[in-house]
Amino acid sequence: MIVMQDVHKRFGPNRVLRGMSLEIARGSSMVIIGGSGTGKSVALKCVLGLIRPDAGRILVDGQDIRTGDRDAFLARFGMLFQGAALFDSLSVWQNVAFRLLRGSLKRPVDEARAIAIEKLRRVGLKPEVADRFPSELSGGMQKRVGLARAIAAEPEIIFFDEPTTGLDPIMAGVINDLIREIVVEMGATAMTITHDMSSVRAIADRVAMLHDGVIQWTGPVAGMDAADDPYLSQFINGRADGPIEAVR
Amino acid sequence: MNPAARPLAHIGRMAIALLAALGRVAIFAGTAAGHMLRPPFYPRELGHALLHVGWLSLPVVGLTALFTGGALALQIYAGGARFNAEAVVPQIVAIGMVRELGPVLVGLMIAARVTSSIAAEIATMKVTEQIDALVTLSTHPMKYLVVPRVIAGLLTVPVLVGVGDVIGIFGGYAVAVQNLGFNPAAYLANTVDFLEPRDILSSLAKGCAFGGIATVMGCYFGMNSGRGAQGVGRATKSSVEAAAVLILAANFVLTGVFFSL
Ligand SMILES: Nc1ncnc2c1ncn2[C@@H]1O[C@H](COP(=O)(O)OP(=O)(O)OP(=O)(O)O)[C@@H](O)[C@H]1O
Ligand SMILES: [Mg+2]
């Protein structure tokens, strides 16, 4: 269970989060939607402790993220970054198996490599890709390697920052199914950011819309279309006119 | 504010900013030192850093020392001729290379070659969120990125300085024997007799200090890089400037410590 309470974060004059509160139940899949630049990625990084909020509390299973053993905390998480953030000095399989090659989850090299290749297969990449370097891959392939890396150690809590951007529709479908599978089969808690409404419908148990630094609307995915929130309806229908100014 | 005091206030602010920056660097170096002693260790990363900082710097260090030693011999010969002291070439080349030029030039070459590459690499990793990714993969960037590079600097730069000293002396020797008519055996005997253990020790100690400075500055500016390509550019430039100036300042201090006591 992840709880964000009244989280604030500003960068200089730019007030990004202005009292964001959100709860994500254990084993559920939350999708965060919202305009570009509204602070969705910042919110994920706050939960992971990569960005320190100016105010507010973030609890994971009742414990404040600033207290307790940081290594044990991070060992429970997997994160796909928006820009994939692959280590370009390491080959693809070493990226995917990064966690399995060092630290508390260390495995023999052969085993780590086998796991990496299996995870690559699950995101639709062939074993030949394993020995290439990230700079030799296309953007969409890098994204999928990042996804494979996020799930490699089978974490309990997984954050996906735009998992399907830059992918063709078929591959996007494969990734949506994969995320759904991870939540349902492995019982993981997932928090996904996406702009792709078909992804939202495929992945989400619940949806939250971030706007102006606060959660504007949250509810089950089934209630999304019936909701009478003007912001939400403008967003999901992709209209240029409405309460959200298109030119910000 | 009194207008006359304005330049003073400006100087004061700059001084405070400089001290604050030095404080941050010192805290960074202290943190790195703390991480050096505590596991986990990353031997593979260390090996990689040793290769890059040490081994691959050999050509540039060797060439720098060779030409400098040669030029030094020519200068001393020409200068010494003004008061019939041409014979001091071996001694002065040895002293000049080992005590001063060897460590300083190697230090500056390392600042140019290693500091810049460390700063650019780490800054790029920061800008592309690779540092954040490391953290989420339960790997401490300080241990994984900074410690191996700093250890490599502390270990290999003294060796590079030693090699540079020898090559520099050889450069002087080659010029003296080929062009200036010195007797080879006498030249070498003069060099060896003249150098004291303290000269060599100071040379290596300087190397160690400069290696530490060069790598810490690269890591510090890389880890604190701003955003985007501009941030990487600025981090790289600042790291080399800071490393070069600090190396020269440290050289002054260390020379004082070793030779005025
Ligand atoms: N490290 C940082 N320093 C300064 N400003 C930042 C930083 N990170 C994010 N911001 C700012 O915070 C705001 C929100 O950024 P964020 O990346 O969270 O947007 P987003 O909602 O993920 O958008 P997108 O959908 O385009 O990815 C932006 O205005 C951005 O400029
Ligand atoms: Mg984002």
CA distances from A193 to A41, B35, B92, B200 (A): 8, 35, 68, 61
Nearest-Cα distance to chain B for A225, in Å, is 35
Q: Is the predicted pLDDT of residue A103 greater than 90, yes or no? A: no
Residue type, B173: Y
In 3D, which of B215, B106, B214 has the Cα closest to residue B161? B106
Asked if the C-beta of B228 comes within 8 angstroms of chain A's C-beta atoms, the answer is no
The pair of structure tokens assigned to A68 is 């307790």
Helix (H, G, I), strand (E, B) or coil at A244: coil
In a domain, B16, yes or no: no
In a domain, A136, yes or no: yes
Q: Is the predicted pLDDT of residue B177 greater than 90, yes or no? A: yes
Q: How far apart are the first and last CA of chain A?
A: 34
Residue A14: CB within 6 Å of ligand 1? yes
Distance CA A75, CA A44 (A): 16
In a domain, B122, yes or no: yes
Helix (H, G, I), strand (E, B) or coil at A167: coil
- Structural domain count, chain A: 1
- Mean pLDDT, residues B190-197 taken together: 92
In a domain, A10, yes or no: no
- What confidence tier does A247 reach under pLDDT thresholds 50, 70, 90? low
Using alpha carbons only, give the angle B159, B161, B166 rounded to the nearest 5 degrees: 100
The ligand placed nearest to the CA atom of residue A196 is 1
- Structural domain count, chain B: 1
* Burial (Cβ within 10 Å: 0-12, 13-18, ≥19) of residue B166: middle
Let me know: does B171 contact A84? Beta carbons within 8 Å.
no
In 3D, which of B211, B90, B92, B94 has the Cα closest to residue B161? B211
Instruction: With beta carbons under 8 A apart, name residues in chain A contacting B127.
Output: none
Q: What is the pLDDT of residues A3-38, one digit of tens each?
A: 999 999 999 999 999 999 999 999 999 999 999 899
H helix or E strand, kind and range, residue B169: helix B147-179
In a domain, A196, yes or no: no
In a domain, B113, yes or no: yes
Give the range of the structural domain holding residue A136, as residue numbers without chain letter.
87-154
Residue A165: CB within 6 Å of ligand 1? no
Let me know: does A204 contact A221? Beta carbons within 8 Å.
yes
Residue A39: CB within 6 Å of ligand 1? yes
Q: Is the predicted pLDDT of residue B86 greater than 90, yes or no? A: no
Other C-beta atoms within 10 Å of B80: how many? 15
pLDDT at res. A226: 85
pLDDT at res. A244: 85
The pair of structure tokens assigned to B136 is 């989420």
pLDDT at res. B261: 65
| pLDDT winner (highest mean) among A158-167, A176-185, A224-233, B103-112 | B103-112
Provide, rounded to the nearest whole percent, the portion of chain B with pLDDT above 70. Answer: 99
Reported ipTM: 0.91
Instruction: With beta carbons under 8 A apart, name residues in chain A contacting B134.
Output: 87
Q: A120-153 as b/e, with b when 16 or more CB fall inside 10 Å?
A: bebbbbeeebbeeebeebeebbbbbbbbbbbbbb
- In sequence order, what DSSP letters do the residues of B63-122 get, joined into one string? HHHHHHHHHHHHHHHHHHHTTT-GGGHHHHHHHIIIIIIHHHHHHHHHIIIIIHHHHHHH
* Residue B115 C-alpha from the chain's centroid: 9
Distance CA B72, CA B89 (A): 9
The ligand placed nearest to the CA atom of residue A248 is 1
Q: How many CB pairs under 8 A join A and B?
A: 48
Which one-letter DSSP state was computed for residue A242? S
In a domain, B14, yes or no: no
In a domain, B52, yes or no: yes
Give the range of the structural domain holding residue B213, as residue numbers without chain letter.
42-259
Other C-beta atoms within 10 Å of B256: how many? 10
- Mean pLDDT, residues A220-242 taken together: 87
Let me know: does A30 contact A204? Beta carbons within 8 Å.
yes
Q: How far apart are the first and last CA of chain B?
A: 47
In a domain, B13, yes or no: no
In a domain, A100, yes or no: yes
Of A74, A82, A102, the CB nearest to B136: A74
Q: Could you give the count of Cα atoms lying within 13 Å of B194 in the half-sphere of its Cβ?
A: 19
Distance CA B74, CA B68 (A): 10
Q: Is the predicted pLDDT of residue A131 greater than 70, yes or no? A: yes
Ligand 2 centroid, distance to A164 Cα (angstroms): 13
Q: Is the predicted pLDDT of residue A248 greater than 60, yes or no? A: no
Let me know: does B168 contact B203? Beta carbons within 8 Å.
no
- Mean pLDDT, residues A127-136 taken together: 94
Nearest-Cα distance to chain B for A88, in Å, is 9
Look at strands A214-220 and A189-193 and give their pairing. unpaired
In a domain, B95, yes or no: yes
In a domain, B56, yes or no: yes
Residue A40: CB within 6 Å of ligand 1? yes
Residues in chain B: 261
Q: What is the pLDDT of residues A135-189, one digit of tens each?
A: 999 988 999 999 999 999 899 999 999 999 888 999 899 889 989 988 888 889 9
Residues in chain A: 248
Q: What is the mean pLDDT of chain B?
A: 94
Sequence-distant (≥ 6) Cβ neighbours of residue A12 within 8 angstroms: none
Let me know: does B170 contact B67? Beta carbons within 8 Å.
no
Ligand 2 centroid, distance to A193 Cα (angstroms): 8
Sequence-distant (≥ 6) Cβ neighbours of residue B132 within 8 angstroms: A45, A48, A50, A81, A85
| Lowest-confidence region among A36-45, A228-237, B243-252 | A228-237
The single residue listed with the structure tokens 């639709």 is: A124
- What confidence tier does B45 reach under pLDDT thresholds 50, 70, 90? very high
- Mean pLDDT, residues B29-35 taken together: 94
Instruction: With beta carbons under 8 A apart, name residues in chain A contacting B47.
Output: none
Helix (H, G, I), strand (E, B) or coil at A77: strand
Distance CA B51, CA B65 (A): 20
In 3D, which of B194, B67, B189, B252 has the Cα closest to residue B75? B67
Provide, rounded to the nearest whole percent, the portion of chain A with pLDDT above 70. Answer: 99
pLDDT at res. A68: 84
In 3D, which of B7, B192, B35 has the Cα closest to residue B98? B192
Testing ligand 1's pocket by substitution, the residue of B223, B227, B230 carrying the most ligand atoms inside 8 A of its CB is B227
